[in-house]
Amino acid sequence: MAPHANDANGSAAGISIHDTRAASVFTVDSPNVTYSNADITSKYTYRTTDVSFKDGKYSAVPKETVYDFKTERKVGKVGVMLVGWGGNNGTTVTAGIIGNRRKLEWETREGPRAANYYGSVVMASTVKLGVDSNNGQDVNIPLQSLMPMVHPNDLVIGGWDISGMDLAAAMDRAKVLEPTLKSYVRKEMAGMKPLPSIYYPDFIAANQEDRADNTVPGSKASMAHVEHLRKDIRDFKSSNGLDKVIVLWTANTERYADIIPGANDTADNLMKAIADGHEEVSPSTVFAVACILEKAPFINGSPQNTFVPGCVELAEKHGSFIGGDDFKSGQTKMKSALVDFMINAGIKLTSIASYNHLGNNDGKNLSSQKQFRSKEISKSNVVDDMVAANNVLYKEGEHPDHTVVIKYMPAVGDNKRALDEYYAEIFMGGHQTIFLSNVCEDSLLAAPLIIDLVLVAELFSRIQWRPHGAPEWKSFHSVLSVLSYMLKAPLTTARIPVVNALAKQRSALINIMKACVGLEPENDMTLEHKLF
């Protein structure tokens, strides 16, 4: 089957793929919503409940707070720079966007396939707009239509990699995509070569050394590295005529950095530690600092502790967006959904045993104990908030046993095998055991998450809020926790609680977007069908 005939523009700096999208599929007819050529402004009443505890009982007081939201309607031209562009995820995202832009179709042994964005919550899911006034049926629209958002086909892609292999060769090395599809995108991708990246051997497994042929001189953190990366971002933005750049780490998992008072515990100490070449400053933290100083949103898609306390403080100081950690693609997404269901159903989960084996380069890197420890932490904490929310099942200090094992098995390649056992107590001393086998085509699940993270981060860079009628507009907090639906270990601060339950994460994202256009939150009461 021949590919679609449209051409894509390619260059060593990145791919520029831009086309115009139609306007929003709906408008909100309300005195609380104002449309101008520049902005959508809404007045929104946020309803919560304040709870206090006194004399052995709770007192609940309904509370209303009125906010104004303002969303810039013009999306502009957006670029994304991937750290680890030549890896499995980076090549898969790039080939996928080229394929979608060109509307490619190709043959497989199971029949013809066409480019799509399946697995992307933004591009392939819907939200309830309301109820049809004629027949009482729900009206659902694509999530991407809820607010003005960049389309992934319009993104300009570039990035860095410690391997200098062009993206066509790197795509072959990854062994993710069908041969016919690769042949259709090979010409564009052969013209793309990652920028040299920083490489500190102590932070990734020694088995990655043979890839490191495209590096910036220097093996420890330095201000020269920060400035080098800042210049790369500025050059990419300028050469492609971009309005903004979003940077996302999809490179190897690093070991955890030790948190050392006087080194990385405050913004000032972190900057001094970088200048001094401190051994506990990781490459991902240097990338984060460069992005913060350039006001380019930075998202960490790996499990290491990139955002040490000093990095978070620096982001807050500069009003720059950061988000992380670790893509939530296969096993962990299933776990966060299943555990949420079991605990909300009143079933007392007592142990979770998770086993994985995979054969891609991520698995090879994770075969080193220090790097595995980073992954183990991010995969082990995903049930904490759900357990803490149920004080009927779990008394203070109680927690399910939770074990995570990852093994490198080259033969299975990118097709990760995830095996889970969930063991729970049920009625009158009984037990329930659930065995779950999940074959995850790792990069084909992660690539749509990368797209979602970029699209949502870009959207929230155009939203401002204020208490109703206040003189000054504000941006969202630098820690962009609204990205948590796509991430295993959502980044938080002392004032931002951890939320891992999948339904709550999606609800938060959708309802904030609805508030920005003056719509009520998702409501499943359906009283119109229950009260007669």
DSSP H helices in 345-438: 361-366, 369-380, 384-388
Catalytic residue among 70, 237, 335, 375: 375
CA distance 300 to 321: 11
pLDDT at residue number 379? 63
Catalytic residue among 333, 348, 488, 514: 488
pLDDT at residue number 496? 78
Question: What average pLDDT does this structure show over 304-312?
Answer: 95
Question: What pLDDT band is residue 380 in, cutting at 50, 70 and 90?
Answer: low
Quick check: is 77 catalytic? no
Domains of the chain: 78-327+444-515 (3.40.50.720), 331-442 (3.30.360.10)
CA distance 18 to 38: 21
Catalytic residue among 416, 442, 452, 514: 416
Higher pLDDT, 337 or 229: 229
Preceding peptide of 265 cis, ω within 30°: no
pLDDT at 18 over 70: no
pLDDT at residue number 499? 85
pLDDT at residue number 333? 87
pLDDT at residue number 24? 63
CA distance 402 to 183: 44
Host H or E run for residue 291: helix 283-294
Three-state secondary-structure class, residue 156: strand
Question: Tokens for 201?
Answer: 């051997």
Handedness of CA 322, 325, 331, 334 (dihedral sign): negative
pLDDT at residue number 48? 94
pLDDT for 439-470, tens place per residue? 888 899 999 999 999 999 999 999 999 999 99
Query: Which of 79-83, 214-218, 384-388, 483-487 is least confident?
Result: 384-388
CA distance 107 to 119: 21
Most confident residue range from 103-112, 289-298, 482-491, 519-528: 289-298
In 3-state terms the chain splits into helix, strand, coil percentages (rounded to 5) of 35, 25, 40
Question: What average pLDDT does this structure show over 246-259?
Answer: 93
| Spatial CB neighbours of 134, under 8 Å, sequence gap ≥ 6 | none
Quick check: is 488 catalytic? yes
| Spatial CB neighbours of 233, under 8 Å, sequence gap ≥ 6 | 81, 245, 247, 290, 291, 294, 296
The b/e string for 145-163 (b: 16+ C-beta within 10 A; e otherwise) is: bbbbbbbbbbbbbbbbbbb
Apex CA 338: angle with CA 332 and CA 342, to 5°?
Answer: 140
Q: Are 168 and 177 in contact (CB under 8 A)?
A: no
CA distance 119 to 125: 9
Question: Tokens for 329?
Answer: 């693609």
CA distance 203 to 373: 12
Single out the residue of 82, 89, 61, 55 nearest to residue 174, CA to CA: 89
> What is the DSSP code (8-state) at residue 197?
B
Q: Are 126 and 143 in contact (CB under 8 A)?
A: yes
Backbone angles phi, psi at 224, to 5 degrees: -60, -40
pLDDT at 14 over 80: no
Catalytic residue among 326, 340, 414, 452: 326
| Spatial CB neighbours of 91, under 8 Å, sequence gap ≥ 6 | 85, 167, 170, 171, 174, 176, 189
pLDDT at residue number 312? 96
pLDDT at residue number 492? 80
In three-state form (DSSP H/G/I as H, E/B as E, the rest C), the secondary structure along 96-142 is HHHHHHCCCEEEECCEEEECCCCCCHHHHCEEEEEECCCCCCEEEEE
Question: What average pLDDT does this structure show over 219-245?
Answer: 98
pLDDT at residue number 8? 37
Residue for token pair 């179709």: 105
- Cα 489 from chain centroid? 10
Question: Tokens for 496?
Answer: 């931002």
Q: What is the DSSP string of 347-373?
A: -EEEEEEEEEEE-SHHHHHHTSHHHHH
pLDDT at residue number 197? 98
pLDDT at residue number 19? 37
CA distances from 479 to 245, 312, 375, 497 (A): 17, 8, 21, 12
Q: Are 383 and 331 in contact (CB under 8 A)?
A: no
pLDDT at residue number 21? 45
pLDDT at 519 over 50: yes
pLDDT for 43-54, tens place per residue? 999 999 999 999
pLDDT at residue number 356? 87
Q: What is the DSSP string of 178-192?
A: -HHHHHHHHHHHHT-
pLDDT for 278-296, tens place per residue? 999 999 999 999 999 999 9
pLDDT at 369 over 50: yes
Question: What average pLDDT does this structure show over 163-180?
Answer: 96
pTM here is 0.90
What are 352's strand-pairing partners?
402, 422
pLDDT at residue number 526? 81
